[in-house]
Structure formats: C-alpha cells, structure tokens
C-alpha cells in the first residue's frame, strides 16, 4: 500500500488473533504495519508478528523487487513488531539495524544476539541520511515501552509513530477510528499519560502531513482531530460531559437500581452509558470510565469484599492513573454491606476524584429509601 511517492506500508492484517497482547478481544483483527522508505538507501521500519514472515517478505518484494534493504529501523521491541527482526537480519546480511541503545539490550534478551557489527545506535534527534532525505529520530519512552523511538521524515512530512495513534482492527475494517483507538489507548498506554504529553510537545512543532502508526490506518486528513484526542486522553480530561454507570449484579437487584439511576439522570438531561462488568468487554468499560466526566460504581458485598469483576475494574482504573472525575456509589449487601467502603478505599490512591456524599445502600432489593437516595445521587452528580 503506497503512502507517499516513496513510502509504502508493507505490513499485514491478522484476522486469526484471539486476544491481542494476551488480553484484548479484537473482533475485527489487528494490523501490524511495517513501512519502506525508498531513497538512494532503503529503510524498512519494523517487522511484523509471528506467523506473518512470508506474507510480509512478499509485500516487501512486491515493492522492492530485487533491491535490498539497507537499514532495518526497530522502533519498538514488543514482539508484535519485532518478532521477525532476527529472521530478517539472518537472511539479509547487508542490512544494518537502527535502534535505541535500550532496544539493542532487548534484542540480546529476546534473540540472544544484539548484532554488534551491524548496529546503528540512535537517540534523541539523531539523524540518518537516506540520500535525498535525512530522517530524524525522536525518543518516546513508555509509549509504550522504554526503548521506543519514533521517526520523522521532513521531506514528506511523515511521522512514523510506533504504537502511538494505533488502534485495534485490521486495515480492511470499516469502523470509527476513535472507538477502537480509545480502547487501545486506555488499555495499553493509559497509564503513561505524562510520556504521551511529552511526546506531543516534541512533535507539536513539526509540520506533519501524515501519521504512520504500527497499528491501524495511516492518518492523512484532519490530523488535528487525532492529535487533539491524544491530548485529551493523555491529560486525563473527559471527552464527554456525562455519566458512565458500571455495575455487577448477582440476582438483578443491583442492576435494577443502576437502571433506575440511569433513568433519573436521563430525565435530568444527562448523557448516560451503562455496562455490566461481568458481561461486557472490560477494556470497553475502562475506555468509557475515562471518556465520561462522571462514574457510578454499583456492586454487591461479596466474601467481605466486593464482587470480583468490580475489583478488577477498579484496579484497572487505578493502575491507569484514573483522575479528575466525580464518582458515585451504589452498594448492595444482605447482612453486612461493605462494598461502598471497599470501593472508596480502592480509589483513595487516585488523584482528584470527588466522591458524592449520597451513597445508595441496597439491603437485598430496592426499597423506598433507595428511591430517594437514587434521586439525591442524581442531583449531586449534576450539582443540583
Ligand atoms: Fe504494538 Fe507495544 O506493541
């Protein structure tokens, strides 16, 4: 796939992967992009995942014919991109390897070999001349691993952004970019908002016509839209003024109260999303918790603690630096309800959360008192 006159995507689509990175469902598969920059010298940016070596080599050959690759640029060592580094270098002894010093250490760990006689070690603002163009490297530690570099081609004004601006889904999938890019971002990079902010500042001053991520489509139009979303996500701002209700329910009583709160909020004109943490995709729930400005957690007391899916959910938020939200609680407990206290304690580590004073405490099933509590909670969430 041609990106510019001299840049091609020679990556592959993976329709077989069951769980990306061992945990994320990807109903529309994954794309592992890999790019060729053709000049007097030829640079290949990143390889592809296990199982796609021959398809990838064919894509390269379709573009290059018998020409050889001078530089293999390894921007990121996670195996969805680096799996075939060793295979490629074994078969292409003329190719030099361009990567950060940390990436070479990882190569030794992954492959037992760090290609000492073929290394080109690059760091912040290092350059590499390919002939007509000189490309520049930008370090991007923790976006998404510490060794990551990104690459800028000033001639075509292209940023090769490694995992940045990536999304779930194969390239032949017709779906909204933001939904699967957000789920990908908060799942995989969400913890690292500060490094993403640093990166956005570094690339902010560059003229950019095209963003070439290692997953998902090449971005060529309306780049401000994508960059702005990355800024919102990485600075932990909310994208939507509204409430996300996340619940677990064993026999339907907690769900009923969660649904009643949804109705109360909607009556007041609030935008509301609701998910069952046991049945809906956890990564989608995490994404929604960051997307909306308010969060309500509803769960049962269970083994003197909280229901397992809620525990997993709150852990996922806290470890991703969840912050800057209003949070309400609904708890259920037939004899000794402790869910509210447990949930609040888990969230104490998070910054700038405002907990609503009104807690809805269900003692088995929804009562008249609960109806009043639900109404109060709705008011407090909306500051009425
Ligand atoms: Fe797509 Fe962090 O690897």
DSSP string, 144-172: SSTT-EEEEETTTTEEE-TTTT--SS-TT
Contacts of 335 (CB under 8 A, 6+ apart): none
Among the atoms of ligand 1, which is closest to the Cα of residue 148?
2
| Cβ–Cβ < 8 Å for 300, 329 | no
* Stretches in the chain below the pLDDT threshold 50: none
Cα(85) to centroid(ligand 1), Å? 15
Half-sphere exposure of 334 (CA within 13 A, CB side): 6
Question: 25: which 2 tokens?
Answer: 């469902």
DSSP 309-359: HHHHHHHHHHHTT-EEEEEEEEEE-SSS--HHHHHHHHHTTSEEEEEEEEE
Pairing of the two strands 323-332 and 292-302: parallel
- Going from the C-alpha of 128 to that of each of 38, 96, 135, 211, the distances in angstroms are 13, 12, 5, 19
pLDDT tens-digit map of 184-239: 999 999 999 999 999 999 999 999 999 999 999 999 999 999 999 999 999 999 99
In which residue are the tokens 């995992």 written?
Answer: 163
Separation CA 153–CA 157 (nearest Å): 5
User: For atom 3 of ligand 1, which residue has the closest CA?
Assistant: 78
In sequence order, the β-bridge partners of residue 244 are 273, 295
Cβ neighbours of residue 364 under 8 Å, at least 6 residues apart?
253, 332, 334
CA 336 to ligand 1 center in whole angstroms: 44
How many angstroms is it from 163 CA to the middle of ligand 1?
5
Give the residue, by CA position, lying nearest to ligand 1 atom 1: 163
Ligand 1: atom nearest CA of 215 is 1
pLDDT at 384: 62
Instruction: Pick the closest to residue 233 from 190, 203, 183, 201 (CA basis).
Output: 190
- Ligand 1: list residues with CB < 6 Å: 76, 78, 80-81, 144-145, 163, 214-215
Give the atom of ligand 1 at the shortest distance from the alpha carbon of 166: 1
pTM of the entire predicted model: 0.95
């Amino acid at each position: 796939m041609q990106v510019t006159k001299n840049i091609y995507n020679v990556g592959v689509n993976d329709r077989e992967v069951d769980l990306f990175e061992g945990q994320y469902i990807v109903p529309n598969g994954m794309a592992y992009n890999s790019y060729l920059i053709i000049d007097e010298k030829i640079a290949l940016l990143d390889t592809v995942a296990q199982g796609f070596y021959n398809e990838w080599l064919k894509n390269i050959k379709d573009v290059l014919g018998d020409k050889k690759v001078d530089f293999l640029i390894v921007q990121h060592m996670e195996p969805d991109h680096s799996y075939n580094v060793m295979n490629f270098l074994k078969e292409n002894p003329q190719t030099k390897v361009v990567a950060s010093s940390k990436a070479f250490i990882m190569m030794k760990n992954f492959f037992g070999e760090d290609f000492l006689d073929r290394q080109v070690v690059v760091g912040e603002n290092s350059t590499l001349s390919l002939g007509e163009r000189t490309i520049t490297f930008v370090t991007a530690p923790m976006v998404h691993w510490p060794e990551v570099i990104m690459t800028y081609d000033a001639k075509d004004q292209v940023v090769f952004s490694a995992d940045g601006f990536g999304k779930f889904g194969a390239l032949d999938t017709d779906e909204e970019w933001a939904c699967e890019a957000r789920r990908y971002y908060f799942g995989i990079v969400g913890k690292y908002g500060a490094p993403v902010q640093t990166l956005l500042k570094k690339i902010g001053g560059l003229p950019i016509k095209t963003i070439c991520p290692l997953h998902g489509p090449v971005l060529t139009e309306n780049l401000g839209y994508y960059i702005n979303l990355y800024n919102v996500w990485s600075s932990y701002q909310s994208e939507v003024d509204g409430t996300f209700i996340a619940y677990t329910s064993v026999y339907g009583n907690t769900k009923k109260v969660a649904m009643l709160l949804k109705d109360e909020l909607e009556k007041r004109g609030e935008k509301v999303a609701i998910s069952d943490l046991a049945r809906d995709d956890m990564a989608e729930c995490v994404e929604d918790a960051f997307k909306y400005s308010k969060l309500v957690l509803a769960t049962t007391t269970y083994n003197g603690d909280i229901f397992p899916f809620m525990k997993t959910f709150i852990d996922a938020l806290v470890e991703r630096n969840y912050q800057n939200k209003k949070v309400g609680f609904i708890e259920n407990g037939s004899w000794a309800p402790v869910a509210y206290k447990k949930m609040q304690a888990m969230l104490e580590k998070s910054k700038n959360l405002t907990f609503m004073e009104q807690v809805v405490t269900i003692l088995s099933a929804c009562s008249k008192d609960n109806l009043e509590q639900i109404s109060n909670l709705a008011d407090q969430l909306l500051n009425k």
